Structure formats: C-alpha cells, structure tokens
A and B are shown apart, each in its own frame.
Chain A
Amino acid sequence: MIMKRGKIDIPTCGECDNTEGILCNLTVQNKEVISERKGNNFYKKGQAIFYEGNHANGLFCIHDGRVKLSKLGEDGKEQIVRFAKAGDILGYRSLLSDEPYHATATAMEDCSICLVSKEKFNGLLETDAKLSVNVIQLLSRDLRGAEQLLIDITQKSVKERISESLIMLKRTFGLQEDNKTLDVVLTRAEIADMAATTTETTIRTLAQLSDEGLIELIGKKIVIKDFEGLQRIAGFSSY
C-alpha cells in the first residue's frame, strides 16, 4: 500500500524496499506502529535536513538518496562526521540523549526521507530489545569512528588521512559497475572536510596519490587503482 501525503508517495515501512537499516529489522507489528503518522519529505541536493543545534523532534530515516553529516568547528571550518545512505537513520543520538542535533545533515543528492516522531521511537526502544541492541551497535560504530578520527588528526599525516578517507568512501558507497570508480562524487573541499585539512592540500595530495599510481582522477570522479596500496598508506588495521 502506498500512502499519499502531498505530492510524495510514501511506502509503509512494511513495504519499503530498503533492507539494511535498523528499522528494516523491526517486527511486522512494530513496522506498522512506526508507519502510522510518519512524515515524509523530499529534499533537493544541497538542502539542509536539519541543523546542528536545532531542537531534535524526530528520527529521520532515509528512504532514498545520500546525506552528509557535518559539524562546524570553532574556526568555522566544516568537519564531515559521516555519510548516510538509504535505510540509514539520522538524529538518533540527539533523541537518545535528549539534546539538540549534534550535526547538520545535508542532502548530497535529491533525497526522500521519512520522519518518525520522538515519542514513537522512544516507545519502541522501551519494548523492542532487538532494536535496543541494534541502536547500541550503531552507537558503538559512531564511538569507534570518533575515536579513530581523534587518533588520525593527532597522529596521522595528511596523506594517510586522505587515503583513509578514500577507503571509507569505498566502504560506504561502494564502486560503480567497472568495479574501480568510487560510486560517489565529492568536491575536493568535501574530501578536505573529511580528512580535516585544507582544499589546497587535498588537491596536492590526491595528485600525489595519482602520480604514485594508487588512484586516477577523472574530473571529480576517483578511480581506485591500488586498494591495497591505499590501505598500506592509511596504516589500516582490521579492528
């Protein structure tokens, strides 16, 4: 069944095509519970879904599209915290800790996003142990990511950090059909925001990685030619 609200077609959670998000694992009954009165909005590429510091009033679940989450440093520089894709949820940490949104979410492409009320989400957490475990798993991933970034910024060179950012992009978005080109297009400034460096240094470092035969730059597209080489430079470990 398709629920129509305004100009946007909203599938119920039970009929949603996404299979990998934590809400996708809910029981049929609980999917019905969150489908009731859920909202859905369409966001154009570049449009903000919510801003860092805004009051958190609900949980966003990406039906379609990709989103970047970023924070502003005291010097006004943007730091990309993570990316999210279809099936992923946004804003959960603010709801869980009853705090304003910790980051700004921006649509990287045209997106369709559902909104589940704070009360519905918190109510499900009280009764669904599996959801609770899945949320802890998400928080564990976020904590490991934050700790890794902390270590990277203090102990890794820019070249290591940019290599690590490329590895992270491959893991998050995967490769195109040629099995070599990253399936996401970011500006050099966005890659710089991921690696906590300047755009100029990012341009120079990407050119260096290209000269060394690890990647190939075709406009904004990045082709991964030697993934193991990138892993070696990033000092990548399996834990």
Chain B
Amino acid sequence: MKVFSQSQEFNFPKHEGRDLQFKKGEFLFIEGEVEDGVFFISSGAVRIIKKKWVLWTANSQELIGISSFFSEGSKYSFSAKASDDCKIVKISHDEFQMMLEENQIFGKTIIEMMCNRIKYTNNRLRSVMTNTSRFRLINEIINKSRETKNQTIFYSLEELSELVGISKRLVRSMLAELEKKTLLSRSKNAIIINDLKGLEIIAMKENL
C-alpha cells in the first residue's frame, strides 16, 4: 500500500545523510540491529526478511520499520534487503515520533497501512496452514509469470527459498521434479514455463 499518493506530497526536512541509495541485494538494516528510525522508499522495492523468509515486499512510496519503532527491545525484528536499486529517505526515530504526534492525517495513514499489513500476513498464515509447500512454490512461479506477463521469470534458488519459506534443497528437488515432467525448464537464475496450464492443474490437485 502506498503511504503517500502522487497528489499528497509530504515534505521531509532536508538534511545530510537522509537521502540514501542501495544497490539490489544490499541490506538497509539487519534483523537484531538497534532500531534507528523508519525508511521511506522513494523508488525501487525492498524485501522484508525474517529467519531467511520473505514476509512481504515493500514497494515505492511505502514505509518500513514501523513495527520495530514500537518494539520494546528497540531492535529491528526483521532484515530489509533491496530487491531493486532503491532510493530511500531515512526518517530518524525522533522525527517519526514528532510526525505521528503532530500530523493526524499521517497517523491515520499509518493506521490504515498497518491494518493492511496485518491482513496480508494473516492471509499468508492461512495459506501456510492449509497449503502444501509444493503448492506455494508453484503458485509463486505462476503468479510471478502473470505479474510480469512473461513465461520466463528470474528467480535464484535462494530467492525462491526465501519467498516460499522452504529450504533451498527442497526448492531444487521440487523444480527438478517439475522439469522432469517438462512443465518448466531452468537456466541459471531463469525459470522458463513450458506448460502453464499443466502447472495450474498440479497446483489445483495439491490444494484439494
């Protein structure tokens, strides 16, 4: 969910060290580090990872680090890793506190955003509790293909492992099985879908 729409500009005070840039694969912060403010994504996308699993992907115009801002231990409860080249605005702890206390619209927007994130996480929880890991893996591949409108998708084993929440070994073995059935083929970090319908049928059977 976008925090600020195009028409709703929010002016962050300018000062040195606020505007940051991260290359794809770089970490904004690591799980367990001392909380040092929240991060606004000006452009790019950031994966939120806990215990080697992607909890969600934050996109441009979103804020990250809010739940850690309020945590008692004052540490980040997850890692944030750039999944594209990113431009980030860092908002210090005190500044964020001030914005919440002084700007009611800002507070309302954050409430809405937090509600959406909880809903998304609970839906994933339901999916994990009711779907097999094979279904989740195939579903991730199908969804990525639909999203990019391309039969070739670019995922490393590590990325798929983080996104689906299963080990790399299991991802490798499941992909090999699907490759054997000629439903897909692999080349380095690319997965080429040969039979989308076939994948959908397997996913459907898994979910029965």
User: Interface of A with B (CB < 8 Å)?
Assistant: 71, 73-75, 79, 93, 96-97, 102, 125-127, 129-130, 132-133, 135-137, 139-144, 146-147, 149-151, 153-155, 196, 237-239
Residue contact B32 to A237, C-beta cutoff 8 Å:
yes
Jot down 11 A-B pairs with beta carbons below 8 A, ordered by A: A73-B126, A102-B119, A125-B108, A132-B107, A143-B118, A147-B67, A147-B121, A149-B125, A150-B124, A239-B31, A239-B76
The CA of A22 and the CA of B71, in the complex, are separated in Å by 16
A147 partner, pick from B74, B78, B102, B119, beta carbons under 8 A: B78
Q: What is the CB-to-nearest-CB distance from A223 to chain B, in angstroms, rounded to a whole number?
A: 26
Residue contact A154 to B53, C-beta cutoff 8 Å:
yes
The CA of A130 and the CA of B68, in the complex, are separated in Å by 19
Residue contact B70 to A140, C-beta cutoff 8 Å:
yes
Q: How many A-B residue pairs have CB under 8 A?
A: 111
Total count of chain B residues near the partner, CB < 8 A: 43
Residue contact A239 to B51, C-beta cutoff 8 Å:
no
Residue contact B66 to A196, C-beta cutoff 8 Å:
no
Residue contact B165 to A132, C-beta cutoff 8 Å:
no
A239 partner, pick from B71, B110, B116, beta carbons under 8 A: B71
Q: Is B25 an interface residue (CB 8 A)?
A: no
In the complex formed, the residue of B with least CB distance to A238 is: B73
Residue contact A96 to B112, C-beta cutoff 8 Å:
yes
The CA of A125 and the CA of B112, in the complex, are separated in Å by 12
Known: A93-B118, A129-B101, A144-B71. A139 touches B111 (CB 8 A): yes
In the complex formed, the residue of B with least CB distance to A93 is: B115
The CA of A143 and the CA of B119, in the complex, are separated in Å by 9
Residue contact B75 to A143, C-beta cutoff 8 Å:
no
By a CB distance below 8 angstroms, the chain B residues around A153 are 125, 128-129
Residue contact A147 to B55, C-beta cutoff 8 Å:
yes
The CA of A153 and the CA of B126, in the complex, are separated in Å by 11
